[in-house]
Chain A
Amino acid sequence: MSAQPTSLLGKAFAILSSYGLAIGILSFLLIDTFLGTITQKDIGLLDSQRIYFDSWWLIHDVNLGGTLIPLPLPGGGLLMVILFFNMLCGAVIRMRKGWRTIGNLISHLAIMFMLAAGFVSFLYKTEGAMPLFEGQASDQYQSYHERTIEVHRYDAAGKGDDKALIIPMKHFADLDPGKARTFFAKDLPFEIQVTGYQRNANIVQAEESEKTAIDGYRVQPVKNAKEDEGNVSALEITVKLKDTPEQKAILWERAQEPFTVKVGDISYAISLSRMKWKLPFAIRLNDFVRELHPGTMKAKKFTSHVTKISSDGKEEPKVVTMNVPVRDQGYVVYQASFSEGSSGEQSVFTVVTNPSDQWPLWSCVAVAIGLIITFLGHLVRFLRRPLKVKTT
């Protein structure tokens, strides 16, 4: 291995497996982490995560005495991908295998496994909220961030289809006012043109003279909330049905009812809402208990006594409390928070499904073992050496 690699691939491998690359990546990751942490004060967690950590590259504006200097940086996503291959080449393929390096090998493999877990959860994890009043049951949870446009068909008798068509957020979130995109589906007798997406907006009554008003209303953009959960998005649609005039409507996340298009006897309800996922079982909240530290308003414990209702109707009592979620059929139900309204206490659960849920746990054990082996080896050698110096 000591010979200088001559082929292009060999050179690339040498770079990819080098300490220099590792240091470079770790340093950039450190910078990204630092910047991504301090910018959270201004732009909130979700945006800083997207810009600094889920990205391939980014531009950070450095404030130098009042003037902003754009500084291009590799994004966290790119760095972690390279780091993975750097470890694969440097610490797994190239490293001399032996008892002295076994600890290193284990810990690097474990970290790679952890990165893989992160990648898997980035791709496949779904996470959402399920708010329930006491006595209420549900089998679905809705995303904190992902919005969708939904089209749900109802027949003449008012019975809805089992499935609704959905347009995911990535297909319309870029449609600023002035940009439009038309959506169609083979079961749909009309096309929907979407435009004017606003991440956070109010619906206000328009002046009579306003040309752009729709049904006497217009979308009023509002400054983005610090945390994305607080944003209420809105957009405008134009429904194009053959041989009939176009119908315009405003869709709003907080709208109480959908916009309805009628084609013959069939009604289509169109709405903008948070992405919803269905669980293979339902949960009914029986009792929500909030314990406080005596004489204060400080929470001591939130506990929800729930019933899990399987698809075959079988019922089973469960208890969800802080730090102790319920894991079932690949789903995890957490006690997230609660709200107290005029209609009683509402317990809010977070529901998560993540194929790599437990991978970090295994990885952690392996990392610890690997590092302990390595550093104990170092320590033993360290302790031996001064003695040698003294005896010679």
Chain B
Amino acid sequence: MHLFISWLQATQSSLLSLLVLSLVLSSCDRVSERMEITQTRDISTYEAKPKLHAYPQERFGDERLRWETPAGWGQAERSQMRPVNLTFGPNKEGECYLAMLPGGAGGVLANVNRWRKQMAQPEITEEELAKLPQKTLMGIPGVFVTVDGAYTNVGAPEAKPDQRLQGIVASLGEAGLFVKMVGPKALVEANTAAFDEFVASLKLRTQQQ
């Protein structure tokens, strides 16, 4: 009997300490302001590889535009003015971008002449414009412009010689839609097929998801 009681007391005390312990344990897992990352997880071979260096628009599914970047081309920083901004050439000397002007673009002729001016070429007339080849850009009919000359970029101090500008000017009412490609003449010529491929791949994503 004595044995039983002592066993009982032992059990009681161990039980109590257990109870106390469990209460203490729950509150000791405090977070400090600096913490080391200790946990890891195994990556599954079935997991799809994410796209690295994605733009915020892509990450947040806010991508209204969809396109395929032609092989060998790179991406440059995009902006409100240039929602698609690509580069090409061994030293990224060529650039190709999509620009959109929601209103006040000033019509097709004005824009074509703006480009010609950048290439230090004389303005053309309405009749000459009508003779230019046609190309559609994202389903909107536009004119295909090719201008050779010395290129002065907006804000650039001096002109680069022996350049070619080619692009499409499309307009829908007041709004203007442009694809412009500029670079050394030979390089642009070599990338004309890629340009067409890029233009064909441009799509406006329907608002879903």
Q: Interface residues, chain A, CB within 8 Å of chain B? A: 7, 9-10, 12-13, 16, 56, 81-82, 85, 88-89, 93, 137-140, 148, 150-152, 154, 158, 160-168, 170-171, 174, 180-186, 188, 203, 205, 214-217, 250, 252, 254-260, 262, 267, 269, 271, 276-278, 282
Contact (Cβ within 8 A) A9 B40:
no
Contact (Cβ within 8 A) B37 A163:
no
Among candidates B38, B42, B44, B52, residue contacting A267 with C-beta atoms closer than 8 Å: B52
Contact (Cβ within 8 A) A259 B59:
yes
A-B contacts counted at CB < 8 A amount to 138
- What is the minimal beta-carbon distance from A289 to any residue of chain B, in angstroms? 23
Name the 7 nearest CB pairs between A and B, nearest first. A257-B54, A215-B56, A185-B37, A163-B40, A203-B60, A255-B59, A140-B44
Q: How far is the CA of A15 from the CA of B38 in the complex (A)?
A: 43
- Write the B1-45 contact mask toward A (1 if CB under 8 angstroms, else 0): 000000011011101100100110010010101111111111111
**A139-B44 contact in complex given A9-B16, A188-B37, C-beta closer than 8 Å:** yes
**A166-B60 contact in complex given A257-B50, A258-B54, C-beta closer than 8 Å:** no
Question: Does B51 sit within 8 A of A, measured CB to CB?
Answer: yes
A-B contact pairs, 8 of them (CB 8 A): A139-B45, A140-B44, A160-B49, A167-B39, A181-B31, A252-B59, A258-B52, A276-B41
Q: How far is the CA of A161 from the CA of B43 in the complex (A)?
A: 8
Cβ of B47: which chain A residues have Cβ within 8 Å of it?
140
Cβ of A262: which chain B residues have Cβ within 8 Å of it?
53
Q: How far is the CA of A301 from the CA of B101 in the complex (A)?
A: 55
Contact (Cβ within 8 A) B60 A278:
no
| Chain B contact patch, size range | 35 or more
Q: How far is the CA of A171 from the CA of B56 in the complex (A)?
A: 25
Cβ of B52: which chain A residues have Cβ within 8 Å of it?
154, 158, 257-258, 260, 267, 269
Contact (Cβ within 8 A) B31 A171:
yes
Contact (Cβ within 8 A) A256 B44:
no
Q: How far is the CA of A171 from the CA of B39 in the complex (A)?
A: 11
Cβ of B39: which chain A residues have Cβ within 8 Å of it?
165-168
Cβ of B33: which chain A residues have Cβ within 8 Å of it?
180-182
Among candidates B40, B46, B50, residue contacting A258 with C-beta atoms closer than 8 Å: B50
Contact (Cβ within 8 A) A56 B50:
no
Cβ of B38: which chain A residues have Cβ within 8 Å of it?
185
Q: How far is the CA of A184 from the CA of B49 in the complex (A)?
A: 24
Contact (Cβ within 8 A) B37 A167:
yes
Q: How far is the CA of A82 from the CA of B20 in the complex (A)?
A: 11
With CB as the reference atom, state the residue of chain B lying closest to A181. B33
Q: How far is the CA of A150 from the CA of B37 in the complex (A)?
A: 10
Question: Does B61 sit within 8 A of A, measured CB to CB?
Answer: yes
Q: How far is the CA of A137 from the CA of B15 in the complex (A)?
A: 49
Q: How far is the CA of A330 from the CA of B159 in the complex (A)?
A: 71
Q: How far is the CA of A252 from the CA of B106 in the complex (A)?
A: 40
With CB as the reference atom, state the residue of chain B lying closest to A259. B59
Q: How far is the CA of A254 from the CA of B23 in the complex (A)?
A: 38
Known: A152-B43, A166-B39, A250-B56. 6 other contacts (CB 8 A): A89-B12, A158-B52, A167-B35, A170-B29, A205-B62, A267-B53
Q: How far is the CA of A209 from the CA of B13 in the complex (A)?
A: 66
Cβ of A250: which chain B residues have Cβ within 8 Å of it?
56, 60
Among candidates A56, A81, A162, A271, residue contacting B43 with C-beta atoms closer than 8 Å: A162
- What is the minimal beta-carbon distance from B67 to any residue of chain A, in angstroms? 16
Cβ of B93: which chain A residues have Cβ within 8 Å of it?
none
Cβ of B58: which chain A residues have Cβ within 8 Å of it?
256-257
Contact (Cβ within 8 A) A13 B12:
yes
Q: How far is the CA of A111 from the CA of B171 in the complex (A)?
A: 77
Cβ of A182: which chain B residues have Cβ within 8 Å of it?
33-35
Q: How far is the CA of A45 from the CA of B42 in the complex (A)?
A: 31
Among candidates B11, B22, B34, B51, residue contacting A81 with C-beta atoms closer than 8 Å: B22
Cβ of B34: which chain A residues have Cβ within 8 Å of it?
181-184
Cβ of A255: which chain B residues have Cβ within 8 Å of it?
59-61
- What is the minimal beta-carbon distance from B70 to any residue of chain A, in angstroms? 19
